[in-house]
Amino acid sequence: MKNGKFGINSFAFCGFISLISLLCHGEQADVHFVSWGGIGSVERVEAAARIGVDAHRLPIGWPDENGRYDFSNFDEMIRALHRAGIKVIVHFFNHGVPAWFWEKHPEAKPRNFRGETRETYASPWNPFVWEQVKKNMRTILSHLKETGLLQFVDGVEIGVGMEGQLSYEWDAFWAFDPYALKAYRSFLRSYFHNDLNQLNKAFSTNYKDFEEIFPPKEWNYSKECVLFEQFYRESIFKVAKELSDVVLEYFKPRIWYWMSHFIKFPERYYAARFPLYYMRKLKGLGRADVVQVSVVPGWQSKEEIESLKRMGLTVIGEIYITPSPQEQREHARLAWELGCNGFFVGTLENLFDDKGNPTATGLETEKLIKEWKEGTLK
């Protein structure tokens, strides 16, 4: 009955089902073709909008050693992106630790079981690092609020570990700095209810004190490694949560954007790269809308991408930052075949000159976006 009682109830029932689906899975963010970088010119922004780029991740990093920031180009690019209709994702470049910080806090460097250190990504367990990062984020957000630019910010991306991803370095367990050891031992005390006998039984060890315990040197399928992996994942999630708490002090973003790659065995365990774990936890907090994953062949499966999408997440596939035309087509095709919602187009400097004229890669990217939208990508 088109206009009868049955028809009205049927319509209401369908609406109810749609509402339940939305509440369970969330509404996917309307983001498909994403760029990144400092941009440099307004003309590049306008050219990007013309070919269909719909979101840009605009990085802002640390101050200089005297605490000074240069917001001039950052502010100009936020206005230009907003005018062009490109969604503004402020990327807190927290992982780009400057040299002056290492000089002040050398103990923040990651350390492996050999005692080797690196000036790359700071230890997730070092409190000095994250207090400085939170201070930086508050300074940036205060600036955006005071200048009225926060209204133009659609979303945020919070850099955490390696290359800003929810992960850590993948060639070994880099968790032997003093803060990592303290956190790991505290985790074990909690897990085993401060019962060393219980731990020794589970690990087949004979420790006399929790302070004797070190992380495993390499991955295997032992109880010890499985628990260490849990510690790794929880540690990185804790940082992500604490930093996203800072954002909520200032505003609630429409888009929470995360970098969370899959990776093959055995690097997955060393790097703690577990996108499904992080995204499920962050989605549960209402702090995950878009996730960018690597589409390197063999690192992930269609099923894993589909699992992220079922959470209500938009999935963006990426490999290259400054691809050639051929690499860009390969890149888009891999993202398409895996079932991603879109692909990362790279830096705008690689797509256009400073006057907005397209490069060869820019022309190819325009074709790819058109083909993606039409469903004709090959």
* Integer Cα distance of 70 and 241 in angstroms: 27
**Mapping DSSP to helix (H, G, I), strand (E, B) and coil, where does residue 14 land?**
helix
8 A C-beta contact, residue 35 and residue 91: no
Residue with tokens 């063999």: 298
Report, as an integer, the average pLDDT of 325-342.
Answer: 97
Q: Quick check: 13 pLDDT over 60? A: no
User: Band of the pLDDT at 22, cuts 50, 70, 90?
Assistant: very low
- Residue 295 three-state SS: coil
pLDDT tens sequence across 100-137: 999 988 888 999 999 999 988 889 999 888 999 999 99
Burial (Cβ within 10 Å: 0-12, 13-18, ≥19) of residue 367 = middle
To which residue do tokens 């992080």 refer? Answer: 278
**What letter would DSSP give residue 265?**
T
Domains of the chain plus CATH, in order, are: 28-176+215-374 (3.20.20.80)
44-62 pLDDT tens trace: 999 999 999 999 999 998 9
Confidence of residue 27 (pLDDT cuts 50, 70, 90): low
Q: Please, what is the average pLDDT of the chain?
A: 91
What is the share, in percent, of the chain residues with pLDDT greater than 70?
Answer: 93
Greatest alpha-carbon span in the chain: 79
What's the confidence (pLDDT) of residue 336? 97
Write the burial class of residue 17 (CB in 10 Å: 0-12 exposed, 13-18 middle, 19+ buried): exposed
The pLDDT of residue 162 is 86
